[in-house]
Structure 1
C-alpha cells in the first residue's frame, strides 16, 4: 500500500510545474495566517450591504500586499476592486465574498452559543463566506508569489463581492465592466449539497435570480373613503388601512401565488422578508411605510419575469385596497450561468493534483464533541465520506440531472453566474465540514465553519486549487485559448446582456450592527433572544 501511495505522489508531483509547486508551498507556509484571517472575518459576521469592517479589512490587506485597490467599486460602499500586474499578459480574476446571514450568530465553539456580546439574532456565517473569501485571498497571494518567483507575465484581478445572499454585487459589477477583459475567472464555493462536493460544475450551472423590494406608502390617508358628508370626531372616522395592511395583503396573496402558480419541481423558489413595517409608536394613524423583499430563484429569465409580473399585480391590488401607492425597487437581476468545459477541465486537473481536503484527528475530535452537544450519536468517523473523495465533473453532472426535467438547463441560484457572460468561468466546490447522521440544528454547520480545526482544511485546499488553476491558465496558452474559444462560441449562440438597470440598493433598512449609548449590538437587541 505504501508503494502505491508513493507512486501516486510521484505522479501528482509530475503534473505540477515549478510555479505551481511554489504556489502550493506558499499556501502551506501561510496556513497559520490564513487560519487567523478566516477567524477574523467569521467573527465580524456582517450581513448584506453592511459589511463595513470586512471590506475595510480586505482593502487594507490587499494594499499591504502590493495591490492597487478601488474602494466602493460600482457605487457599493462595501465592495472593492483590486489589481496587480507582473507585466503584459493574461489577467486572471478571483474574488471574495464576506457577507453573513441574520439570525445565525454562532461562536466558533462545539456547543450552541452566540459570539461574545451578541445575541442569536445577529449575523453569522452559514456557507461560510468567511472561509470562501479567505480561500480566495490565499489562492490569489500564492499565485502572485509564484508569478514573481518564476517570472510569469500577466496580472491578477480580485473583487470584493458584498451581499451575495441577496445576489447583490455581481450583477452590478458585471454591468459596470469590472469583469471585462479577463482571460478567465475562478469561482470557488464551499460545498452545500451533494453531489457538488470536491468537483467542478459541468453543464448545469445555477439559474436566474430576481430580488426586489415592494414599498407601500400611505401619504394621503385622508383621500381613502372620502365622502361629501363631513364626519365629526376624527378618532371614529373611517381611516385608510395604511401600509401595514398593504404589506399583510401582499404577503398573503403572494404565498397563494407561490403555492399555485408554478410547477412544484424544477429548482425554483420564492421567499420573502419584511424590512420595515409602519410606525410602532403612533396612536391612531395608519402606518405610512412598509417594505417587503422577495427573492425569486428560477431556471431561466422568462420564469422570473412571469413571477415578477404576478407580484406586481398583487402589489397594485394591495395598494388599491389600503389607500396606498406602491413602488418596486430592484435588489438584483442575475442571469443564468454559462458552461465552459475547457476551463472546467483545467480546474478539474488542478483539483486532482491537489487532492481532497484531509480532516485529521483534531477535526474528528471537534466533530464528535459537536455531535455529543447536539444530542446526536457520537461516531468514530463523524464526517460525510464524500468530503474525502474527488468526484469527476461528468459524474456529478449525471447525478445532478437525475432530479431535473430534461428541458431544464439551469438549477438553483448564485450570482457568480453573471461572471460567466464576461469571461470563461469555472465554478468548483471543495468539502466543508459536514457530519453524518442528523438532521442537525443549524448552529452545528455554522460552528464547524468557524472552528479552525474543521474549516482550515477547506480553506487551504481551495486556495491551492485556485492558485494551481490560475497558474495553469497563465502558463498554458493552449488551455487558455481553448477556454476563450468556447466562451466566444457559447456567448455568440445565445447572448444575454447584463440585466442590471438599477442603482445599488444600499439605502434600505438592511439589518446591521449599531452603536448606541447602550454599546455595540445587533439592531435587534441581544436581550430579546431566547436563552
Structure 2
C-alpha cells in the first residue's frame, strides 16, 4: 500500500510538471530577458506572483518594506511548508544564447547566478504540490516566499528581521549549479559597510596646508585594515573598494568613501572584526583631522543546514534522478567549456570540494551524495538568515557544464538554454515531492524542529544583524 501511495504522489506531482514544462520554461525565459537587478525586479516578481495567484494562492506584495518581495499562500492549517524563490540578476553580464561572449546589450544585466530558473522551479514545485494536496484532500499550508536582492544579501535578511518566515514550520530551497547533490555546507557570515570620511577642500598646490583630505583618511583606513589581517584567523575575508576618491588631483578631496565586505565562518567573528574596523576608522579620522560616519548596508549569518530536511530532499532527488540531457545539450556544453580559461574547470571543481572524477564529465548525469558536509563555502547567502529562524535545507541540480564559473557570461548562457531549463524542471519535481512528503508525515517536521531547537540552544538564537532603524534601500517605483 505504501508503494502505491508513493507512486501516486510521484505520478501526480511530476506528471503535472511534465505536462506544464513549456509553461515553466516560458516563465524562466521571460525573467531571463527581464534581467532585473535586486530590488528592481518589478516585472519578474509580478510574473511569479501573478502565476501563483492564477493557481489559487493568496498574494501579499511589498512585504518587509520591499515592493518586489512577496508571500504567496495556499491552504489552511498545519503543517506549514515554506519555499524560497529568487529572481534578481547581476550587472554587466548581458549575454546571448551562444558559446562566445556576445552581450544582448553592452554592459546590461544578465542572470549569471541562474535566478531566472531558481524562482520558477520553486513556484512550479509549489503549484504541483498544491494540486496534489487539493486532489487528495490533504490539509496543510504552502507558503512561497518571493525573495528579492539575494545578490546584495538584502532581501531575506530584511524579511527575517520582520518575522516574515516565522509562520512556517520548515523551509525548502535549491540553487542552480553544475552538480546534482545536496547543498550541505555552511556559508560565510558577512557585513557590507561603507565608511564615509569628511574633510576640507583646498587647492592641492597653492595652499594644501588648509585642506583636510578625506581621501587620505580612506587610504589610511585601508592601510590599517591591511595590517590587521595578520591578526585575524585565516578564514576571515575583508575586501574593499574606494567608491569615492575625489574629483581631481588638483583639489584636496573633502569627501571619500570606502566600502568593505567583512566575511567570517561565524556571525560573532564578523561582529568582532567589524568593531576593529570601526576603531581603525576612528584612528584614520584622527590622523587626518577629518570626521567619519558609517552606512551599514546589510549583514547576514552563516548557513545552518537541517539534516532531517536534507534527507527528505535527497530521497526525492534520487527518485527524480538527474536532468536528461540530449546530444544538443552536450554539444552546447562542450562549446561553452572550450571558452573557459585554462585550468578554470579544475579550480571551480576543487574549490567546491566536488569529487575530482567529475572533471571527466561535461554535464552531470547522476545524483551524488553530498560532498560538502561540515565544510564552509567561500561565499555568503541570505538563505542563512532563514536557517536561523526555521529549519531549512537546500539542494542543487545541474544547470550548466561542470566547472562553469559562477557570475560569468557562460553561466548566463547556460541557465537561459535547454540545459538550465532541464535542471529547473528536475528541481521543481524535487521540491514538489518533498513538500508533499512533509505534508503527509508530521513526524519528519517534528524531528526537523528538534534538530533546529538543539542548534539554537547551542548557538544562542537569532538576533538580526541589521540596525533597528535601517530600512531596505528600495528604489523609486517606476511609473506604469
Measured at CA, do residues 263 and 490 of structure 1 come closer, stay the same or move farther in structure 2, by a change above 3 Å?
closer
Does residue 1:98 correspond to 2:87, yes or no?
yes
Aligned partner of 2:231 in structure 1 is: 261
Q: CA deviation at 1:323?
A: 4.5
Aligned residues of 1:357 and 1:461 also touching (Cα < 8 A): yes
1:428-472 CA deviation, whole Å, 9 max, x = no partner? 121221246x98993222321222x12111100001000000000
Q: What is the CA–CA distance in structure 1 between the aligned matches of 2:242 and 2:12, rounded to whole Å? A: 50
Does residue 1:89 correspond to 2:78, yes or no?
yes
Q: What is the CA–CA distance in structure 2 between the aligned matches of 1:201 and 1:376, rounded to whole Å? A: 27
Aligned partner of 2:355 in structure 1 is: none
Does residue 1:206 correspond to 2:206, yes or no?
no
Q: What is the CA–CA distance in structure 2 between the aligned matches of 1:382 and 1:41, rounded to whole Å? A: 31
Q: Aligned runs of 1:362-373 on 2, under 5 Å?
A: 362-371=328-337
Q: Aligned runs of 1:152-163 on 2, under 5 Å?
A: 152-163=138-149
SS in 2 for 1:165: coil
Aligned partner of 1:119 in structure 2 is: 106
Measured at CA, do residues 76 and 275 of structure 1 come closer, stay the same or move farther in structure 2, by a change above 3 Å?
farther
TM-score of the two chains, using structure 1 as the length reference: 0.77
Does residue 1:443 correspond to 2:409, yes or no?
yes
Q: CA deviation at 1:185?
A: 0.2
Q: What is the CA–CA distance in structure 2 between the aligned matches of 1:411 and 1:470, rounded to whole Å? A: 29
Q: What is the CA–CA distance in structure 1 between the aligned matches of 2:421 and 2:120, rounded to whole Å? A: 10
Measured at CA, do residues 376 and 334 of structure 1 come closer, stay the same or move farther in structure 2, by a change above 3 Å?
closer
Aligned residues of 1:299 and 1:412 also touching (Cα < 8 A): no
SS in 1 for 2:6: coil
Q: What is the CA–CA distance in structure 2 between the aligned matches of 1:492 and 1:95, rounded to whole Å? A: 25
1:56-108 CA deviation, whole Å, 9 max, x = no partner? 333333333332222221112332222222x3221110121122222322223
Aligned partner of 1:183 in structure 2 is: 169
Q: What is the CA–CA distance in structure 2 between the aligned matches of 1:349 and 1:507, rounded to whole Å? A: 40
Measured at CA, do residues 324 and 376 of structure 1 come closer, stay the same or move farther in structure 2, by a change above 3 Å?
closer
Aligned partner of 1:461 in structure 2 is: 426
Aligned partner of 1:387 in structure 2 is: 364
Measured at CA, do residues 209 and 439 of structure 1 come closer, stay the same or move farther in structure 2, by a change above 3 Å?
closer
Q: CA deviation at 1:473?
A: 0.1
Question: What is the root-mean-square deviation in Å for CA atoms of aligned residues?
Answer: 3.5
1:464-505 CA deviation, whole Å, 9 max, x = no partner? 000000000001122222222222333233322222343555
Q: CA deviation at 1:276?
A: 4.5
Aligned partner of 1:50 in structure 2 is: 40
Aligned partner of 2:386 in structure 1 is: 419
SS in 2 for 1:16: helix
Q: Aligned runs of 1:280-299 on 2, under 5 Å?
A: 280=247, 286-299=252-265
SS in 2 for 1:185: strand
Question: Which residue of 12, 18, 21 maps to 1:28?
Answer: 18
Measured at CA, do residues 233 and 124 of structure 1 come closer, stay the same or move farther in structure 2, by a change above 3 Å?
closer
Aligned partner of 1:216 in structure 2 is: 197
Q: What is the CA–CA distance in structure 2 between the aligned matches of 1:47 and 1:257, rounded to whole Å? A: 34
Aligned partner of 1:172 in structure 2 is: 158
Measured at CA, do residues 384 and 100 of structure 1 come closer, stay the same or move farther in structure 2, by a change above 3 Å?
farther
1:254-280 CA deviation, whole Å, 9 max, x = no partner? 34544x33243x4x42223444555x4
Q: Aligned runs of 1:520-531 on 2, under 5 Å?
A: none
SS in 2 for 1:388: coil
Aligned length: 463
Does residue 1:66 correspond to 2:56, yes or no?
yes
Q: What is the CA–CA distance in structure 1 between the aligned matches of 2:294 and 2:286, rounded to whole Å? A: 15
1:157-212 CA deviation, whole Å, 9 max, x = no partner? 112222212221222211211111312100211236xxxx322245x422422222
Q: CA deviation at 1:51?
A: 2.7
Structure 2 gaps of 5+ residues are 344-357
Aligned partner of 1:138 in structure 2 is: 124
User: Quick check: which has more Rg, 1 or 2?
Assistant: 1
Q: What is the CA–CA distance in structure 2 between the aligned matches of 1:291 and 1:80, rounded to whole Å? A: 33
Aligned residues of 1:111 and 1:374 also touching (Cα < 8 A): no
Q: What is the CA–CA distance in structure 2 between the aligned matches of 1:58 and 1:290, rounded to whole Å? A: 40
Aligned residues of 1:104 and 1:124 also touching (Cα < 8 A): yes
Aligned partner of 1:338 in structure 2 is: 304
Q: Aligned runs of 1:459-498 on 2, under 5 Å?
A: 459-498=424-463
Structure 1 gaps of 5+ residues are 1-11, 225-231, 516-531
TM-score of the two chains, using structure 2 as the length reference: 0.85
Q: What is the CA–CA distance in structure 1 between the aligned matches of 2:388 and 2:254, rounded to whole Å? A: 42
Aligned partner of 1:303 in structure 2 is: 269
Q: What is the CA–CA distance in structure 1 between the aligned matches of 2:192 and 2:406, rounded to whole Å? A: 29
Measured at CA, do residues 253 and 128 of structure 1 come closer, stay the same or move farther in structure 2, by a change above 3 Å?
farther
